[in-house]
Chains A and B, each alone.
Chain A
């Protein structure tokens, strides 16, 4: 039977920002399938020009309420590289905790609020509040834990207050760090229960494979740390680059039949995010996270994009244990009163940081007074868009015999799996072409 299908999902729900899913099938042949970004553009790079070095991270954290700290950190790292400023070991450790908190909070939000409803066959987390109240309470508690972890260092996760170039305007007390460490330790069993819960519904995760290129940070030489804050750019195709060479990987392009800037490196597209990190660096995960991966049947490389959510869950286990250790390290050292002043100068620099949805690049040029001459940000979702479209093109023909409703759901679930951060990426993309 030759089918005609016309699917247009207006504003996919349970994703961050506005995107539409389109599928046109004529006589059983897929004519067009795409994720269109329809979010209003915000023009951040254009807003930064001429601004003072100390204002930049203030503005860019407002690119995204979910990865506010990640943007601030990529920004600070780019500024430091450009201005020739070196943060202390204490500052780096504190920043790692901030990033850990943000990755936890975003991953839990995604796992419980955005993806779990599909696995439980409901439309949102709200009906679960009466049928599975314990799960909803756990979800809210874990999400809040992530925020609390960042809050203790930056004052407020959305948007960070204390975090600046070179240092902080206020430092946490040892007792505040101990408190949050205790909270993390207390919540570890809840995360392990979540691993079991997701393992029990894993058969409802669609089975679909498409091998692609995976790009993430890789460990800096001599380090065996699963990299979030610090690292070199690593491709699963065997290449590595310094952060300053990010454009060799991202190669942003605009195509006339697409609504957004897209990226590609060695293949037609590449993937960033939790699954790319897992595929590239799973040997560096802590034993507890490796055990979780085993329970969830995840052996790198995993080529099913629907498994991004599962990779996020494995990362949360790693981050919980790792953060407990970092806090120990800081407390052993004692909170040091350091001088965080610096002099601006002219220069160019890049920052690359792993935020929840993948590798994020900021790249700045300052003049001699420390005013912004030029800024470029490449956001994880921008890098994933082409990969989502390529997945769509392989997936759609495979599921055409299903009822339209199921096709639509499978496509939307794929979009949700990537956890796209659309408001984040629309500082540069938008528009529909006819």
Chain B
């Protein structure tokens, strides 16, 4: 049986997720033995189509990205959204929370019209996506587990338990009780609660669980002395995208 042909692509992103994917030595070399990497612009010059699995990083932020993403879809058997930018819009969607004209003017002043953009969207708003690897950045272990599943033709992990569950399992001191604005109660787990384990509140990078009770979470946070303004702001670092913004 021939090796599966995999490829990496990126749109608006920091490329941190691709870097995380090559950041572990042994696993990467083992992976190289099992797959053929046919496109990976950051690391290799060759480029071939006819792909089994495409990992797509980044958000879609302008018209000209759409045909490129569609071309990737047409040439790939499986398309996986890699990281928060691709899965949920990530930090790129913050710009959707303010009038686009203002955002462009802040950066480019009177030359703003030279820089076309439209509201940020995750890739599944443009093409069909077969699986998601969450996080900003992706979690290494979660990535490896998912790659195994994908190569076996299975579904990626949905992670519908909030970060709090992993926190409790690891007996990490709850940051809410310390008055920090932690998004753990409504955020998709799967990262091992890495931020709280370092005394840092969860910023919600893996996206919200399927049925987040945002109001209840707001109440919990407010009980711990945070203002609604603070909480709203914190909640929109990674979770600004709303489908109605692109209607």
Contacts and interface: CB of A to CB of B under 8 A. Distances in A.
Contact of A46 (B20, B106, B199, B203): B106
Interface string B68-95: 0000000000000000000000111011
B115 A41 contact: yes
Scoring B14, B58, B61 by chain A CB atoms within 10 A of each residue's CB, the highest score goes to B14
A58 B25 CA distance: 27
A43 B136 contact: no
A245 interface: no
Given A40-B61, A42-B12, A58 B237 contact: yes
A146 to B, nearest CB: 10
A43 B104 contact: yes
Contacts of B237: 55, 58-59
Contacts of A45: 106-107
A68 interface: yes
A158 interface: yes
Contacts of A159: 16, 136-137
Interface in A248-299: 254
B23 A143 contact: yes
B146 to A, nearest CB: 18
Interface in A102-116: 113-114
Interface residues of A, number: 59
B43 A124 contact: yes
Contact of A43 (B11, B43, B95, B137): B95
Interface stretch (A12-20, A92-100, A211-219, A313-321): A12-20
A68 B115 CA distance: 25
Contacts of A166: none
Nearest to A125: B43
B194 A161 contact: yes
Interface stretch (A187-195, A234-242, A304-312, A422-430): A422-430
Contacts of B44: 13-14, 123-126
Contacts of A424: 14
Interface residues of B, number: 62
A129 interface: yes
A124 B48 CA distance: 14
Interface in B213-247: 230, 233-234, 237
B161 interface: no
Nearest to B111: A254
Contacts of A18: 41
Interface string B29-62: 1001000010011111111000000000010011
Nearest to B23: A147
Given A40-B12, A40-B61, A124 B45 contact: yes
A158 B45 CA distance: 25
B145 interface: no
Given A40-B61, A140-B28, A159-B136, A52 B200 contact: no
A162 B95 contact: no
A126 B37 contact: yes
Contacts of A170: 198-200
A143 B22 CA distance: 10
Given A169-B198, A170-B198, A423-B13, A430 B115 contact: yes
Interface string A157-187: 0110110000001100000000000000000
Interface string B3-14: 000000011111
Contacts of B58: 40
A35 interface: no
Nearest to B102: A46
Nearest to B14: A65
Given A62-B90, A156-B137, 14 more contacts: A14-B42, A40-B61, A43-B106, A44-B107, A55-B233, A124-B43, A125-B44, A140-B28, A158-B20, A161-B198, A161-B200, A162-B200, A427-B107, A428-B107
